[in-house]
Amino acid sequence: MREIAISAREAGQRLDKYLAKYLPEAPKSFLYKMLRKKNITLNGKKAAGGEKLEEGDDIKLFLSEDTIGKFRGGLAPSQNLGDGSRPEENREVNPAIGKQMPSLDIVYEDEELLVVNKPAGMLSQRAGREDVSLVEHIGGYLSREDGDMLSGGFRPGICNRLDRNTTGLVVAGKTVRSLQYMNRLFKERELKKSYLCLVRGKVPGRMHARGYLVKDGRHNRVEVVQDRAAGAVAIETAYTPLEHALWRGEWHTLLKVHLITGKSHQIRAHLQSLGHPVAGDGKYGGKDSCHAFRKAFGLRYQLLHAWQLRLGDAPYLPEQYRGMCLEAPLPELFRDILLEMGMEFPRLERKE
């Protein structure tokens, strides 16, 4: 028999969801059968699986250690994870632990939230089995900070995603509760997402652009069209020019982008459709421009940065986060390119 005490970070999720994470190799039919037969109980009573877990709840698994080990992914029977024990050899191994990982650039952290400044070249989430994404980096960091973080039926997760070569703010939840309210905040757009990007051409003034996004799954691209088409989704983006610079005979504009709808590749494709592709963007920008930036600065990714998140005042958001403004400094290369072009914004940003 194994007994599990629900911690504050695991509270708020359904019992069946917790069990599916704690025993990831177990078929759902097996879990529900064990609940019906009272081989898995909640607070000493029969449970259906839909119950919302609270801090301090007690789950008992009347299963053999061999069975538990098998359904936890082959862990040895002696690895009594999630029951309050803390011996070093009993900790669940995170896929990223043991591999050399760059330090996370942490913008904000407390008991519930972790906000990081994602570098270029890092996936937000795994695309393949062997990938080590930001999620694995965060898991490795939190497991080093708290050895019990990954031992139970909870895994920290991210609430927003950025393209591999887009830099900037990514929000992660360290508890079920924080994942729930932050995911809801993003879904219901109860926050303001601002990006910075350098684009080709001179954008004369503010733009509020609308259109429809059509996905091309075969080539991992999207196209923006003005008329609704089959499978297209409506998008909306607002742009404010901050500075202009003439570089090598061609105008460039530093834009502040307000992402109103948040679809994959939206900013890059929308700007390209307006004749202002993002500098360094090999997918949606011109090859000549990309080559010029690579030759001059060694740039190998688009200059698009998730710069600022301003949280709203939704009633379900804890009081301490309402109206909070989070900001990620520009990557050093992005800043150096702007300075080389003669723009003042990086100097102002550095002072802040």
Query: What is d(CA 184, CA 314) in angstroms, rounded to the nearest whole number?
Result: 10
The string of pLDDT tens digits covering residues 275-303 is: 999 999 988 887 888 889 999 999 999 99
CA dihedral over 244, 247, 252, 254, signed as positive or negative: negative
What number of other Cβ atoms are within 10 A of residue 14's Cβ? 15
CATH of domain 189-351: 3.30.2350.10
Query: What is d(CA 153, CA 6) in angstroms, rounded to the nearest whole number?
Result: 9
Would you say 175 and 288 are in contact if contact means Cβ atoms under 8 Å apart? no
Would you say 83 and 4 are in contact if contact means Cβ atoms under 8 Å apart? yes
Would you say 19 and 34 are in contact if contact means Cβ atoms under 8 Å apart? no
Pick 350 or 91 by higher pLDDT: 350
Q: What is the mean pLDDT of residues 121-147?
A: 81
Q: Residue 149 — pLDDT band, cuts 50, 70, 90?
A: low
How many whole angstroms from its chain centre is CA 56? 29
Query: What is d(CA 4, CA 341) in angstroms, rounded to the nearest whole number?
Result: 59
Query: What is d(CA 147, CA 278) in angstroms, rounded to the nearest whole number?
Result: 42
- Position 65 scores a pLDDT of 81
Q: Which of 105, 110, 131, 163 is catalytic?
A: 163
pLDDT mean across residues, the chain: 84
Would you say 184 and 245 are in contact if contact means Cβ atoms under 8 Å apart? no
Judge if 97-188 and 189-351 fold alike in CATH terms. Answer: yes
> 88 — phi, psi (to 5°)?
-55, -40
Query: What is d(CA 272, CA 290) in angstroms, rounded to the nearest whole number?
Result: 14
Q: Which residues contact 27 (CB under 8 A, 6 or more apart)?
A: none
**% of the chain surpassing 70 pLDDT:** 88
- Position 100 scores a pLDDT of 56
- Position 148 scores a pLDDT of 57
Question: Which segments of 216-283 does DSSP mark as H helices, in order?
Answer: 266-273
Would you say 137 and 96 are in contact if contact means Cβ atoms under 8 Å apart? yes
Q: What is the mean pLDDT of residues 85-100?
A: 38
Which fold would CATH assign to domain 97-188?
Pseudouridine synthase (3.30.2350)
Point out the least confidently predicted range of 8-17, 47-56, 96-105, 289-298: 96-105
Q: Residue 25 — pLDDT band, cuts 50, 70, 90?
A: confident
Q: Residue 1 — pLDDT band, cuts 50, 70, 90?
A: confident
Query: What is d(CA 69, CA 61) in angstroms, rounded to the nearest whole number?
Result: 12
Q: Is 83 among the catalytic positions?
A: no
Q: Residue 67 — pLDDT band, cuts 50, 70, 90?
A: confident
Domain ranges of the chain: 1-90, 97-188, 189-351
Q: Cα torsion at 227, 229, 231, 234 (round to 10°)? A: 10
The string of pLDDT tens digits covering residues 208-221 is: 999 998 888 777 88
Q: What counts of helices (H) and strands (E) characterise the chain?
A: 9, 15
Query: What is d(CA 207, CA 60) in angstroms, rounded to the nearest whole number?
Result: 58
Which fold would CATH assign to domain 1-90?
3.10.290
The residue assigned the tokens 């301003």 is 310
Tokens describing residue 350: 């550095």
How many whole angstroms from its chain centre is CA 172? 6
